[in-house]
Structure 1
Amino acid sequence: MMSVEEASADCLKEVSFLIQNSDTDSFLAAFSEKARSEDPELAAKAEKVISLMGGGTMSEEDFYMSVGSISSGAIYVVSFATITAPDGTKWQIHITDCTYNKEDPSQVGLKLIEIIPYSDWDAPKGFGWYSEASGQSHFGIRLITSWEGWDPYTSPYTW
């Protein structure tokens, strides 16, 4: 069985490759069937991500974790990285990848990608990354392109 570190590295490598090559179709296809069905705007958001960051580079961060276990029926690997777009703009990315789901195999694949302006230290009060451990169930892409005017209660998916 693959370690959490290896699973995180594989996930980051795949997403990095897709962003670096500006491959919107493959980026979209990497999402789980469940994510593609739960987020009706996923294709438009994927195009926006590639238009902002396509051709950019991703640096691995030192943070990754897993949530769940085989005995609990699902395993999620959560990874953080920084993307530097071709124009020099930096973005922070938080990826939740489902590597196993006994009850619902349609969830295997990318579950959620959250992208914010670099860094989360600059985020306004009320911002938080979604967490599998908290029981929140979000799928697709959460893209926040600017903190200006962002409010956690009225604009959680600003783009």
Structure 2
Amino acid sequence: MTASLHPAAPHHLPAFITAPGETDVLMVVVAVFLVLAVLAVGLLFLRLHTLPERIAHRGHKLQFEIVAILGLLALFTHVHLFWVVGLLLALIDIPDFGNPLRRIAGSLEKIAGLKPGAGAGDAPDEIGAAGPPAEKPSEGAAEVPPTITPSRISKEKIHA
């Protein structure tokens, strides 16, 4: 059975109009293009969305975790201010205060005669219970009275 044109149809039809029962090639091409375009725009959006996190990770920033959390908050709440704050934090260098403080603590432990890292776990319960042995005062030095801590006061009241 041959497909004939309707009497009211023009004799020169455009190429994108298909005969009844045939595959519409233009529709298939547009559908594939639309799926690829949606995937490309989604990937571009996610790449742009993770830009602050990638900048902070590449720069080995201390605030990397904060930037990552702000990015997730921006993604799930659609509050763009979180993304902007994360981008600003990723671009700013926050100074590292931890390393100099660790060096100072290590020097103080060395001066006190403790092993490195041993000073952190030696919190005394009473005066003189932990730490290095106390030196005897020299002849000309005045003797310093022991300090009274809250734990010592409560133990003295209990024993009295």
TM exceeding 0.5: no
Q: Which has the higher helix share?
A: 2
Q: Which has the higher strand share?
A: 1
Question: Looking at CA atoms only, which structure, 1 or 2, has the larger radius of gyration?
Answer: 2
Q: TM-score range with shorter-chain normalisation?
A: under 0.3
